[in-house]
Amino acid sequence: MMPDRNQAPTYQPITGFDLITPRHIVLSNGLNVFIFDSGEQEVVRAEWIFDHAFVHTENPLLPTCACEMLLEGTTSYTSRQIADTVDFYGAFLIPQYDADRSTLSLFSLAKHLDKLLPLVKEVLVDSIFPDRELATYIRNSKQKLQVSLEKNSFVARRLFNAALFGDTRYGKCPEIADYESITRQDLISLFKSQYTVANCTLVLSGHITEAILGRVAKHFGDEWLAGEQALFDNVPAFPNIAEGGGVILEERADALQSAIRLGNRSISRSHPEFPGLQVVNTLLGGYFGSRLMANIREDKGYTYSIGSGLGSLKHGSFFTIASEVGTAVTSATLNEVEKEIGRLKEEAVTDEELTLVKNYMMGSMLGSLENVFSHADKFKNVYFSGLELDYYRYYTDVVRNIDTKEIQRLANAYLDFDSMVKVIVGKM
């Protein structure tokens, strides 16, 4: 017998979710460790997270290079020995640079952790950035950048960041020639001041036993000298953005598609209106059913994908919309984006659409908490924004209770197409 297919099954809105509160310990040298112990798989993720401090310069090239070269040798281990050891134990040791922090992440089976922790400690206190490895790094990075510069979307992001954040750490992009200026001496001196206990937070998640904690306390507490105070960080000064935002066009004669990126500086996670603005962002371009996707992809077929997002940084934040569209419809796409932003500001969203977006956001939050690693990720988001885990209770309250009036008010307060920076790489 056929069920009644015209009738959608009943459903329950998601009203909340449980977060794991980490255990917090402070090691003998003052290192803060946050522990998320759970999960039946015997795996561990350990993340050593170092704050950046830009003291003399805002150029991000040196800290990027220091981070990416962390595994290239110490006094006792060569690059090859480090690689061999990590790979032999089936582990992944990954340095990762982002605008505010450098992170060294270790993914390992719990049973092999013993063998790997001393190596990580050696890397964090005694990296030496050998000249030969540096030369290889520079040569390969230049080649990689050469390829990336041929990608319109990559170039659009660079131009956008530069327009919003100018000559600061968030806006400055390396040119190929800049790599030549990196010296081993500069790297070592940056490494010594940045990779310190006072600048570090350790987050452990997975199958964390007392025995593992004992090892961690030994290698990263007792054996790691507290050393210097945390660095004092400059607060970067961002440029004024011209009235009318301005169009930045980089012509590419042979382009089949134009990369479009537009947006403005915005508010950070710690701002009370951030969760509300996230709802506005989701409506506009934050999910598959968003207005930008519904109009520009699903109705017009101009693009494979278009989306918007909010980025929250330590000293700043931004709102951005990005897409790659057929060159013939570059300006038509901009017109539609303008129209969609205008519609959010001028017309109240229907209750039906708003309910859908709220339910989607709550479901997606629930879905993003599927294992112990994702709980740790949620914690890092708030911790490094200077917030507590109860931020998510506030977030839930805002998302569940926001009404159509507030959506319209926020859209008017934070979205202004005319004053957005508009970058186009391709053809106009």
Q: Which of residues 280-309 bind other proteins (CB under 8 A)?
A: 287-289, 297-304
d(CA 153, CA 165): 18
The beta strand positions in 252-300, using DSSP E, are 257-265
* Nearest to other proteins of 359, 404 (CB atom): 359
Q: Is residue 392 involved in binding other proteins (CB under 8 A)? A: no
Residues 203-262 that bind other proteins (CB under 8 A): 254-257
Distance of closest approach, residue 320 Cβ to other proteins, in angstroms: 18
97, 107, 384, 394: which one contacts other proteins (CB under 8 A)? 107
Helix (H) or strand (E) holding 250: strand 247-251
Residues 349-388 that bind other proteins (CB under 8 A): 355-357, 359-360, 362-364, 366-367, 369-371, 373
d(CA 244, CA 427): 21
Question: To which residue do tokens 């199958």 refer?
Answer: 207
Q: Is residue 139 involved in binding other proteins (CB under 8 A)? A: yes
* Nearest to other proteins of 235, 253 (CB atom): 253
Contact 322, 420 (CB under 8 A): no
Q: Is residue 131 involved in binding other proteins (CB under 8 A)? A: no
Residues 6+ apart with CB under 8 A from 388: 382
Residues 173-202 that bind other proteins (CB under 8 A): none
* Nearest to other proteins of 79, 408 (CB atom): 79
For residues 23, 29, 30, 36, the Cα torsion angle rounded to the nearest 10 degrees is: -20
The token pair at 231 is 């660095």
The beta strand positions in 352-407, using DSSP E, are none
The token pair at 296 is 């520009």
Q: Is residue 49 involved in binding other proteins (CB under 8 A)? A: no
25, 53, 83, 241: which one contacts other proteins (CB under 8 A)? 83
d(CA 224, CA 278): 41
* Nearest to other proteins of 16, 214 (CB atom): 16
71, 279, 399, 421: which one contacts other proteins (CB under 8 A)? 71
Q: Is residue 127 involved in binding other proteins (CB under 8 A)? A: no
89, 97, 238, 384: which one contacts other proteins (CB under 8 A)? 89
The beta strand positions in 166-221, using DSSP E, are 200-206
Distance of closest approach, residue 185 Cβ to other proteins, in angstroms: 22
Q: Is residue 164 involved in binding other proteins (CB under 8 A)? A: no
CA 302 to chain CA centroid, Å, is 28
d(CA 398, CA 388): 16
21, 41, 401, 419: which one contacts other proteins (CB under 8 A)? 41
d(CA 357, CA 253): 40
Which segment (35-43, 185-193, 243-251, 393-401) binds other proteins by CB under 8 A? 35-43
